[in-house]
Structure 1
Amino acid sequence: MILYNGKIYTLDNKQIVQAVKIKRDRIIKTGTNSEILSMKEPNELVIDLRNKTVLPGFNDSHMHLYGFGKHLDTVNLLKVTSVSDIIEEGRKFIEERNIPPYQWIQGRGWNQDYFQDNKRYPTKADLDKISTNHPIIFYRVCGHIAVVNSKALEVCNINENTKQVDGGEFNYELGIFQEKALNLITDKIPKPTVTEIKATLIKALTYANSKGLTSIQSDDLSHAGSFKDVLQAYHELHDEEKLTCRIYEQCLLSKSELATFLDLGYKTGVGDYLFKIGPLKILSDGTLGARTAALRKPYNDNPNTKGMLCYAETELEDFLHYAHENGMQIAIHCIGDYALDVVLKSFAKLPRLENRRHGIVHCQITDYELIERMKKFHLCAYIQPIFLNYDLHIVEDRVGKTLATTSYAFKTLLNQGIYIALGTDCPVELINPLPNIYCAVTRSDLEGFPKYGWNPQEKLSTFEAVYAYTMGSAYTEFQESIKGSITENKLADLVVLAEDLFNVSEHDIKDIEVLMTIMGGEIVYNNYF
């Protein structure tokens, strides 16, 4: 395959070329139109880019591919603006799909801060208005809180005498479950078969390709029952040549599950360029929107809580040490500053941290001292600039103006020499990389507020954001030598864009259309010809 007459940003020393030759799954050469066209072979596909822009394929550094696929088949609550809307969407879903009684109804996406009337959580009583014959669970957009109806409590054998759960909590009367207490519900929901998992993943992969993604670092293992079933689904898709994105699996496992996982011969790096085992994923706290992120001081807008840790400090230290000594890279969810402080204390007790590429997922509420400690321990930062679309409206209310000023500190992380990798946490946010890059560059919400950006000193340049979405993400996979740039002998993973994001208004970046996605020298999405 030859692509020519384009504006090809290689990200290799900021070089821009006109053309590229691909053979099988590799980039053979980049150069001028005449250089590359002179290498044309008989019957070779030659594509005139007509001055369109080409980048390395995007690599989402943290999302939930299976969860996104399931989201496409459940009640979509992303656009609801009231509890009444939730009730209406639930009723409509059951009626339109003619779902029989006793079958679970799942949904995700509500956010009480977007409600136009009473900004409260929906409750058991609200969901009972949808149905008392179907067990229902509706997750908040973050996935760390959910509300269930009476039938769900009945099916799960939960009552007034059910004990609380370490690392989580629930309110029986309201039907609201947080963090690890969610397992009381999710463990009782029927699990999909391997065939069903595969179908869900294929649906999500197809959509991801349409947005220019060729690599995904996906947290899936806890989302479909047994982690063995999820791994089997991926292995079968790999062998059937149906993986249209390269997967680096972020493995959310308990310590006992990790022991089984290791006994089966899995650890970071096992696999090939299509499917590879990545880091152990650990949750250390909750989310800012739900006020479950663990803060050092009480929430500014709710002094009765500081959020919650998912593990006791000694338990976390033991878990990290076990994973580290057994060859696992570690990616740990930290949103609150207290959670990050506790995690950094645990990392301080681990030996030989150089080039282990452990990392902090989200890395939202920080101060400069915490960031300096991250650098000391050679940690990466998996960041989601798209979170600013919502969080810039609440962060000062949640943590106060002073701490907010040093949070979501993307430029500071970069200036400290910390490797950053961009992702979306989809389905928490939309999978599309372009709005994510837009938020990194403008630090505005998707409506353009504030005009000059929130904490604008932390803006990334467009090049820095794109680099973090390609080479930065490849670095967190230990694969920067084989992908992430359009370089000779690297994997032929590219995306063709309708416009040049380096030469349009910053506020237009989010609307740029993906025309074509190429993974391993094969066109996996085509809206160009």
Structure 2
Amino acid sequence: MFIINGNIRTMDPKKPKAEAVAIKNGKIIKVGNNEEVLALKNGDAKVIDLGGKLLLPGFNDSHMHLVGYSLFLDLIDLAEEKSIGEIIEKCRTEIKFKKIEKGKWIRGRGWNQDYFKGEKRFPNRYDLDKISSEHPIILNRTCGHIVVVNSKALEIANITKNTAQVENGYFDIDENGEPLGIFRGNAIGLIEKAIPEPTVEEIKNQLIKGMENANSCGITSVQSDDFGVVGDNNYEKIIMAYEELRDQGKMSLRVYEQCLIPNIEVFQDFLNKGYKTGYGDEIFKIGPLKLLSDGSLGARTAALTIPYNDNEETMGLNLFTQEELDSIVEKAHNNGMQLAIHSIGNRAMYMVFEAMEKALRKKPRKNHRHGIVHCQITDEHLLNKFKELDVIAYIQPIFLDYDWKIVESRVGKDLAKTSYNWKTLVDKEVHIACGSDCPVESFNVLHGIYEAVSRKDLDGNPKGGWMKDQRLTVEEAVYGFTMGGAYASFEENIKGSIEKGKLADMVVLSRNIFEIPEDEIKDVKVEMTIFNGKLV
């Protein structure tokens, strides 16, 4: 394949711009001008004339949940519902329209009480009982760190007033000790273990749909946290689904698995089976050990060093003690595993950095590429710690769409000023890798780039941008979605830029995002996605 007349931004500092690319056997064999590239043409090789359109390396979403997103395609989408009443009505309509049998689980996701008009409380079991008393129902909050269920689901999961609370999580109870159907943090597992798991074939069939949707957004690589959709010890079901799709030639994305493992016992089992960072190939590869150290800002379960500004009764949830975190981080580090740890609140990050620092002090390792996922609520000390320990910052620019409205009310003015400080991280030469956390937010990369460079939501607010001194340049944002992601998976030598010898993963955009007004970037379309040298 030969691509000519392009406006090519290679993301290769040695040769940042080009006009044409030659591709053979899934690899880039030449980057240059039209004449240089077409000199290699023989026979009836396909020629694509871009007519001056922008060509970039394929996008890499550095943190998302591909299996969860793919399975969620069949769930009830509650992202647009503006009240508990609307949630009830939407779910009733879905049950009736789809003629869902009595006893079958009803699953929905995406609700956010902060968007409710009027009463901004969480739904509870009694609200969901109005949907149905004959179907077990579970509805995930948009963040994934809180679920609500109805009485039928509590019955099936055998959760009563006598059920013990779990460590590092809890379920809400009323004044009589009865469960209200609201589960937070690790308590979610009490419900999820009662839900039938998808089969390998079901996972594969849904993954094909999910990958097609990602390709339509120009995504050719993802770093995906998937193990959480099956039981603690059933992670091999996820690995099997990916490997079977790869062996059948049905993968249209490269997947670097962020291996979510709940505790050190399951992690030891994982290691005993021979899995470690780098196991696999260019299509599917085992990546870092993924840990959850706290919850989310929207649910007030992100672990802060101070009480929440808008709810002084809580400082959020730590999902590990310091000792537990030290132990599993050290075991991962000593066994050659990369680490990617979910930490949103500053208290969670202090604990994670302490665990990483202890492990690195005992066993120094250059190029460890450990990272913190989300890293939202930071202070000056934490921002410096990223550079000091050479830790990757996995950021999600699209989070600004919602979070700019609540950060100050959640954490107060002082802490808000040093939070979401992406430009500060870049200026400190911290490695950033951009993603979406899909399905928490959309994996539309152009939306992510727009929010990174404008610091505005998709409605154009706030005017002038939120903390506009933290805006990234278009170049920095594109780097985060290409080379930044490749670096995070130790693959910067094979992808992330358009260079001779690299994998032929590319995206063509409808407009040149380097030249148009920043407010128009969000409306740019993906016109073509090339994966492994083929149009997808």
Q: TM-score, normalised by structure 2?
A: 0.97
CA distance in 2, matches of 1:263, 1:206: 34
* 2:119 is aligned with 1:94: no
Q: Of 206, 210, 218, which residue of structure 1 is paired with 2:212?
A: 206
Q: Of 474, 484, 494, which residue of structure 2 is paired with 1:482?
A: 494
CA distance in 2, matches of 1:155, 1:421: 41
* 2:284 is aligned with 1:278: no
1:396 maps to what in 2? 408
Q: Contact 1:10–1:487 at 8 Å: present in 2 too?
A: yes
2:467 maps to what in 1? 455
Provide the alpha-carbon RMSD of the alignment.
0.9
1:269-316 CA distance string (max 9 Å, x none): 011110100000000000000000000000000011000100111111
Q: Contact 1:61–1:382 at 8 Å: present in 2 too?
A: yes
The offset of 1:515, in angstroms, is: 0.7
Matches within 5 A, 1:458-469: 458-469=470-481
1:137-186 CA distance string (max 9 Å, x none): 00000000010000000000000010001010001432100010000000
1:161 maps to what in 2? 162
The offset of 1:264, in angstroms, is: 1.2
2:143 maps to what in 1? 142
* 2:397 is aligned with 1:385: yes
The offset of 1:34, in angstroms, is: 1.8
Question: Structure 2: which 5+ runs fail to align?
Answer: 174-178
CA distance in 2, matches of 1:42, 1:257: 55
Q: Contact 2:12–2:499 at 8 Å: present in 1 too?
A: yes
CA distance in 2, matches of 1:330, 1:110: 30
1:323-371 CA distance string (max 9 Å, x none): 1111110000000011101111111101314210000000000011111
The offset of 1:267, in angstroms, is: 0.2
Matches within 5 A, 1:188-337: 188-225=194-231, 226-254=234-262, 255-337=264-346
* 2:187 is aligned with 1:181: yes
CA distance in 2, matches of 1:346, 1:185: 30
* 2:350 is aligned with 1:341: yes
Residue 10 of structure 2 aligns with an amino acid whose one-letter code is T
Residue 507 of structure 1 aligns with an amino acid whose one-letter code is D
1:392-435 CA distance string (max 9 Å, x none): 00000000011101000101111111100000000000011010
Residue 187 of structure 2 aligns with an amino acid whose one-letter code is A
The offset of 1:516, in angstroms, is: 0.7
Q: Contact 1:422–1:472 at 8 Å: present in 2 too?
A: yes
1:248-280 CA distance string (max 9 Å, x none): 000001322211111111100011110100000
CA distance in 2, matches of 1:491, 1:256: 37
Residue 133 of structure 2 aligns with an amino acid whose one-letter code is T
Q: Contact 1:474–1:483 at 8 Å: present in 2 too?
A: yes
The offset of 1:43, in angstroms, is: 1.4
CA distance in 2, matches of 1:353, 1:330: 13
Residue 198 of structure 1 aligns with an amino acid whose one-letter code is K
Q: Contact 1:354–1:377 at 8 Å: present in 2 too?
A: no
CA distance in 2, matches of 1:62, 1:15: 26
Q: Contact 1:353–1:378 at 8 Å: present in 2 too?
A: no
CA distance in 2, matches of 1:369, 1:416: 13
Residue 365 of structure 1 aligns with an amino acid whose one-letter code is I
The offset of 1:38, in angstroms, is: 2.2
The offset of 1:377, in angstroms, is: 1.2
Using the TM superposition, name which of 453-462 and 345-354 deviates more.
345-354
* 2:40 is aligned with 1:28: no
Q: Of 409, 417, 421, which residue of structure 1 is paired with 2:433?
A: 421
The offset of 1:224, in angstroms, is: 2.8
* 2:421 is aligned with 1:431: no
How many residues end up aligned between the 2 structures?
524
2:385 maps to what in 1? 373
1:59 maps to what in 2? 60
* 2:86 is aligned with 1:78: no
CA distance in 1, matches of 2:434, 2:303: 23
2:176 maps to what in 1? none
1:3 maps to what in 2? 3
Q: Contact 1:180–1:310 at 8 Å: present in 2 too?
A: yes
* 2:529 is aligned with 1:517: yes
The offset of 1:200, in angstroms, is: 1.4
Matches within 5 A, 1:36-55: 36-55=37-56
Question: Structure 1: which 5+ runs fail to align?
Answer: 525-529
1:464 aligned counterpart, secondary structure: helix
CA distance in 2, matches of 1:330, 1:504: 38
1:527 maps to what in 2? none
Residue 413 of structure 1 aligns with an amino acid whose one-letter code is L
Using the TM superposition, name which of 91-100 and 29-38 deviates more.
29-38
1:114 maps to what in 2? 115
CA distance in 1, matches of 2:464, 2:392: 28
Percent identity for Structure 1 against Structure 2: 53
CA distance in 1, matches of 2:129, 2:336: 48
1:258 aligned counterpart, secondary structure: helix
CA distance in 2, matches of 1:202, 1:505: 35
CA distance in 2, matches of 1:462, 1:431: 18
Residue 249 of structure 2 aligns with an amino acid whose one-letter code is E
2:71 aligned counterpart, secondary structure: helix
CA distance in 2, matches of 1:30, 1:349: 45
CA distance in 2, matches of 1:398, 1:22: 50
Q: Contact 1:353–1:377 at 8 Å: present in 2 too?
A: no
Q: Contact 1:365–1:407 at 8 Å: present in 2 too?
A: yes
The offset of 1:116, in angstroms, is: 1.1
Q: Contact 2:309–2:409 at 8 Å: present in 1 too?
A: yes
Q: Contact 2:71–2:203 at 8 Å: present in 1 too?
A: no
Using the TM superposition, name which of 370-379 and 381-390 deviates more.
370-379
